[in-house]
Structure formats: structure tokens, C-alpha cells
Chains A and B, each alone.
Chain A
Amino acid sequence: MLKNANIAMRLAVGFGVVVLLLVLMSVFTRIKMGSLAGLTTLLYEHPFTASTHLISAKTNIIKMQRDIRDVLLANNSTELNLAIKGLSEAEKALFQDLELVRTSYLGDPKDIDPIINDLKAWQPTRQKIIELMRAGKNEEAGDFHKNEGALEITKVEENLTVIEESAANRAASFVKDAKETASVTYLLIYLLVFVTVVASLIIATFISRSIVRPLHKAVGIANRISVGDLNMAMPEIERKDEVGELMQAFGRMIVYLREMTNVAEQIAGRNLNSQMRPQSTDDTLGNALATMINNLRIMIREIQESASVVASSVGEILATTTQLAAGIGETATSVSETTATVEEVKQTALLAAEKSQNVSTYAKEAVLVAEQGDTAVAETMDQITNVKGLMEIVAESVVMLSEQTQAIGDIITVVNDLAQQSNLLAVNAAIEASKAGEQGKGFTVVALEIKSLADQSKQATEQVRTILSDIQKATGKSVLAAEQVSKAVDGGVKQAAESGESIRKLAENINEASQAAAQIAASSQQQLAGMEQVAMAMESIKQASQQNVLGTKQAELAAHTLNELGRNLKEMIGTYKV
């Protein structure tokens, strides 16, 4: 119960208990003091009162006995009634006295009851006496009173005496009691003071311990947290007081710190996928971590992209460097070749100088030859003109041949006619021969022969006509050919003239060429000097290109290293989970 109470309640309860004890003690002391005073009063009041009433009661009993005697002695009813009246008054007073005794009696009030009961038991006896008296039986009543009534009165008197004695005893005991009570009271008061002191000490210890112990625990936790140790077990929270709340707060703090630590560990483990949720808007650490994760993510992505770019760029650089190396190698080779070529060119320039001098010489000779050519062309023209004349004669002859074939054609026509007539004659001869019968048989053969000859003649004439036609065509072609020759000769004359002209121009050109050759010879000399300079330059280039080869190889190596680095960077960045 106390465990669930907060410290204020606990303090209140503790002090309350102490105060209560003090109050109790003072009340107790007051009561005891009161009872002592009461006892004193009782000692001096109650036994006296009781005794007084007891004496009154005794007096009333005596009065009642006297009244009964009056009754018994009554001679008439008036006396009787008067006596009865006195009896009942005495009885009434007796009961009042007894009630007073009962109230003031310090013993058991029930001790009074037997007296009352005895009195009540006496009542019927008295009633019987009265009735007997009324009935006039005085003697019987007297007897009755003497026997039974006397017994009952004695009883009552005895009881009253007991009460009286006990009241006296009571008074004595009161004094004794007062003395005892006083000593007990002192004892109790000492006891209460002792109890109060002890209880206050216990409560103080308990409260201080209940506050200090969990606070010590909390201080221990706070100390461990302060050095970053979060591995402790979560404190069990059994309390609902401020310390319990403090522990709960520590628990939440540990949870929060563990979350943060977890996130930080994931970040440390290159996992940036963890979602950081700040506990509140005031969560500076959480917000900072969230921002850090975001920034790291962005940074890692950028680094990843950059690494890719770097990797590809380095790859390109590598490729380029390799190509460059190859190119420079080729360049070196080319330079070597060029150097050789320059040497050749030098030789060639030398040769060119010599050759151009030769050309000059040849050109002079060529001019002479060209003059001879010109003469030859003139002669050719004369010859061609002769050919033309001859061709005209040939054409004339061919035309004459053609005319003569015409004459042959006429003759052949006549022969053909003759052949036809011969044919008919042969048929007629055959007919005649057959008419002649047996004698004409031989003639028939002759006639057939003649016909055959006539047919052959006819065929021959046909052949001759064909041949003549061929000759005619051939002569036509010949005439045409002669004409073409004539024209061709004209063309030849023209071309020969042009040739002459060309040869003359050629001679001029050769002259110019000879001059040019002289210039070439001079140029070749200059070229030779220039080529020597080129050769020196090429040597320098050769050395430079060899250095280039070395440099490029180093660059290639560097590019390889860079490539390796780029790949490593990519792999390293790749381990981050974004």
C-alpha cells in the first residue's frame, strides 16, 4: 500500500502516524487523569449515597411492616383503607430508594434485582393478607403474616444487609483501585512515549530508505548512461511514485537511446535504409540523425553516380591511353619510316639534279629531231597527194569494168533466150521422134540430150547473171572505197599539216622544258639542303616520339591504377544500402 503511494503521501502518512500517536498518548493521559479524579469523586460520593438510600429503604420496609400491622390491626374498613394507602405509599418510596441505590451502587446493579424480586414476591402475600382482612378473617391474616410474610421480610432484610456490606467494601476497594490505576497510568504513559519514539524512528528510517534506495538505483543507471553504457537490464518498475516515474523515464530514455544507437549502428554498418522517426519536434538528436541519414543518402548516391562516372571516364581514359600508346607507337614507326624516306628523298634530290641536267641535254637533241620530223611531214604530204591521184585512176578503172559487165549482161540475156528456144526445140524434137515411132527412138535420146544442154545453158546464164551482180556490187564498193580513200587522203594531208604544226610546237615546248630542267637542277640543289635540315628535324621528332612512348606507357599505367581505384571506390560505395 505504501509502495504505491508517492513520497508526499508517504511523508504525510509517517508524520500523521507520529502525530496520531502523540494525540493518542495525550488523550490517554487525559482519560486516565479524569478516571483518577472520578475515582476520587466516586470514592467520596457513591458509597455514601448508596448507604443513605439503603437506610431509607430499610426505613420504608419498616414502615411497610408497621402499615401491615396497621392493616392487621384495623377494625374497620376506614382504618383498613388508610393503612393500605400508607402501605402503597411506603412501597412506592421503597422502590424509589432501591432505584437510587441501583444507580449509585458501584457493585453489580443486578445485586439489587433479588431484593426487588423478593419485594415483589412479598406483594401477593400482602395482597392476600389485605383480602383476608377485607374478608374479615383477621386471625388467618395475622397467621399468614407471621409465617410467610415474616420469611419474606427477613430475606429482604438479609439481602439489604449484603448490599450494605458490599457498598462498604466497595469504598475500600475504590481507594485501592485509585492507587493501582495511578501506577498503571504512569506505566502506560511511559510505554506510549517509548512506542511513539520507536515508531517515529522506524517510520523515518523506512521513509528515508524507501526514497533513497531507488534514487541510488536511478543514480547508478544515470551514471551508466552518462558513460554511454546502454547494456543494463531495464529496471523493473514496481512503483508508482515519483521514483517509479523517474525509472520509467529512464526506461524510455534507454529505449530511445537504444533506438538511436541502433540507427547509428546501422549507419555505421553502411545501411542507410533505416527509417529514422524523431520522437517529437524537440527531438534534436533524432532530427539530427534523420537529417544525417538523408544527407548521407544523398551524398552516397552522388558519390555512387560520381563513382560510376569516374569509372566510365577512367575506362575511356584507359581506352584512349591505350589507343594513344598504339598511335604513338605507330607514330614512332612512322617517324622512323619518314626518316628513312627523307634519306631516300635526299638521294632522289641528288638524282633529280643530275637527271635535270640530262634532261636539258636531251631537250636540245629533241629540238633537232623535231626539225627532222617537220621535214618528214612535208615529204609525207607529197606522198599522200600522189596516193590520191592513183586512187582516182583506180576508181576510173573500176567504173569502166562496171560498164563492161553491163555488156556481158546483155550477151547473157541473148544466150538465155537461145537456151530457151533450144529447150523448146528439144521438146519438139522429142515429140517428132515419138511420132516417128521405132525409128525415132534414137532421136528421142538426142532430143533429151539437147534439152538437157539447153537447161544447163540456162542455169549457166543464171550463174553468170549472179556473178555479174556480185561484180557489180564489188565495183560499187570499190568506187565507194576509192572515194573514201580520196577523202581520207585529204584528211591525211590536213593531219600531216597539223602534225608539222605539232612538231613545231613540240620543239618550242622542249626548248622551254630544257630551261625548266635547268631551273629544276637549281631547285634540286636547294631541295637537297632543305632535306638535310628535314632529316635533322626528323631525328629530333624521333627522340621526342620515343619519349612520348615512354610517357604514354606511364600514363597507361596511371590510367590502370586510376581504373583500379575507380572500381574500388564503386565497390566500396556499393556496400552502402541506400
Chain B
Amino acid sequence: MGGKEIDWNQLHQRMAAANAMIAHGWIPSPAERKRILKERAELLAVAEEKQTTEQTIEIVEFLLAREHYGIESSSIREVYPLKDYTPLPGVPSFVLGLMNVRGRIISVVDIKRFFDMPEKGISNLNKVIIINDHKMELGILADEILGVRNIAISELDQPLPTLTGILEKFVRGVTGECLVVLDAARILADQNIVVHEEV
């Protein structure tokens, strides 16, 4: 039974320490707590400064096939996990189906297909961003909701001139971090997205 001699006393001590940790739960030590609070305060302080200096828009940032997209939060009613959706027959392929969100029926659209973007990357597609204007309400599929953030308007570049096709209409601008800011109002106003077919 070779190997090192086991120090049973040390083992007992380690066990006691672990037990103590479990008994106290995840309460951080006073020093740790102070550090976390300081970090947050600094973060907030920087955000405040930015807001005051520039004209900004607030967007909800999300991931779609590993690319970053953003939609202005004013156009968004809410975000919701994708669950209990009902596929619809006789609709274009970009329409995933219908979903009941607190009593309201909302159609869910896969904008990748709608934009005729190539199907690439691994999609999770378990979140829905519900955008609305006074006439219409629409659910857009997203992989991940990254959060709300403010972007300076000056930061937005116009879409590339080479960008043609259907996507050009719906892009409001692209930030330096390759965040594509979509224009929700135009998506809602587009006739193509409205399924109006008489069978």
C-alpha cells in the first residue's frame, strides 16, 4: 500500500473548514464584499459620465448565430423565453409559428431566414424579442439576450454601400464593434413580413 503517509489531522481540519463554509452559506467575507461594491460603483460612475456627454439611444443587444445585433429598446415591448409555440401551416418558412404571451397571440419570425442570410453557426434560438408599434406586434427569434445598453448615435456608421438586398432596408447602422442595429419600425412596416394570403 505504498504512497505517501496520509496526514489524518490535516484531513480532519480541511473537512471542518468545508463544513463551516457550508454552514455560513455564500456570504462573502467583509473584504470581498467591499471589493465587489467598489467595482460596481466604478462601473456605474463611468456609465453616468457617458450619458451626460452624448446623444444616445438605448438598444437591447442580442446574439443571433454568433453575431451581435441590436434593436432600439423603445420599439421593444418585452423579451420572452421561447416556449409553447405553435407552428403554422401555409406560411413562409421564416415564420416559425405562433406563441401565447400572457394571453396575446404573437407571430414569431426567424429574421435570418427573412433576411435571406446564410444559415451558419450554431443557433440556440430560445429567446423571443417582442417588438411593437401602434399597429403591429412581432416576435423575433434570438439566441441570447445580452442586455440593454446605450450607444452614441455618432458611433453608428451607415451600412456599407456594398450591402444590398433586403437586409439594407432594415439596418439602421453598424457600430465599430460590429454590432448591427436593426430598425424595428421598418421591419414592422414592411409588407413582406405581413402574411396576408387568401387561400
A interface, CB within 8 angstroms of B: 420-421, 423-424, 426-428, 430-432, 434-435, 444-445, 447-449, 451-452, 460, 485, 488, 492
Contacts and interface: CB of A to CB of B under 8 A. Distances in A.
B145 interface: yes
Given A424-B80, A427-B60, A434 B145 contact: no
A427 B79 contact: yes
Contacts of A421: 81
Nearest to A423: B145
B38 interface: no
Contacts of A423: 145
A434 B80 contact: no
Nearest to A447: B148
A411 B26 CA distance: 16
Given A434-B148, A448-B148, A488-B1, A424 B76 contact: no
Interface in B58-83: 58, 60, 73-74, 76-81
A452 B26 CA distance: 17
Nearest to A424: B79
A448 B127 CA distance: 19
B19 to A, nearest CB: 14
Contacts of A420: 81
A485 B1 contact: yes
B147 interface: yes
Contacts of B60: 427, 430-431
A434 B74 contact: yes
Nearest to B44: A445
Contact of B76 (A431, A447, A492): A431
Given A430-B148, A431-B60, A488-B1, A424 B73 contact: no
Contacts of A431: 60, 73, 76-79, 148
A156 to B, nearest CB: 208
A434 B51 CA distance: 14
Contacts of B127: 424
A449 B147 CA distance: 11
Interface in B68-121: 73-74, 76-81
B89 to A, nearest CB: 29
B43 to A, nearest CB: 9
Contacts of B73: 430-431, 434-435
Nearest to A426: B147
A427 B71 CA distance: 13
The 10 closest A-B pairs by CB, nearest first: A430-B148, A428-B78, A431-B73, A427-B79, A434-B73, A434-B58, A431-B76, A424-B79, A427-B145, A451-B147
Nearest to B127: A424
Contacts of A452: 40
A224 B136 CA distance: 176
Name the residue among A421, A445, A448, A492 with the largest chain B CB count within 10 angstroms: A448
Interface string B20-59: 0000001000000000000010001000000000000010
B74 A427 contact: no
25 contacts: A420-B81, A423-B145, A424-B79, A424-B81, A424-B145, A426-B147, A427-B79, A427-B145, A427-B147, A427-B148, A428-B78, A428-B79, A430-B60, A430-B147, A431-B76, A431-B78, A431-B79, A431-B148, A434-B58, A444-B148, A445-B44, A447-B148, A448-B147, A451-B147, A488-B1
Nearest to A441: B51
Interface of B: 1, 26, 40, 44, 58, 60, 73-74, 76-81, 127, 145, 147-148
Q: Is the interface of A mostly helix, strand, loop or mixed?
A: helix
Contacts of A445: 44
Contact of B74 (A426, A435, A449, A451): A435
Nearest to A428: B78
Contacts of B145: 423-424, 427
A350 to B, nearest CB: 47
A424 to B, nearest CB: 5
B26 to A, nearest CB: 8
A133 to B, nearest CB: 217
B72 to A, nearest CB: 9
Contacts of A460: 26
Contacts of B26: 460
Contacts of B77: 431
Name the residue among A430, A449, A488 with the largest chain B CB count within 10 angstroms: A430
Contacts of B74: 434-435
Nearest to B1: A488
Contacts of A427: 60, 79, 145, 147-148
B39 to A, nearest CB: 10
Given A430-B148, A434-B73, 15 more contacts: A420-B81, A423-B145, A424-B127, A424-B145, A426-B147, A428-B78, A430-B73, A430-B147, A431-B60, A431-B79, A434-B148, A435-B73, A447-B148, A448-B148, A451-B147
B79 A492 contact: no
Contacts of B148: 427, 430-431, 434, 444, 447-448, 451
B32 to A, nearest CB: 13
Nearest to A435: B74
A452 B79 CA distance: 17
A492 to B, nearest CB: 7
Contacts of B78: 428, 431-432
Nearest to A488: B1
A195 B38 CA distance: 194
Contacts of B44: 445
Contacts of A485: 1
Nearest to A444: B148
A446 B81 CA distance: 21
B28 to A, nearest CB: 12
Contacts of A451: 147-148
A433 to B, nearest CB: 9
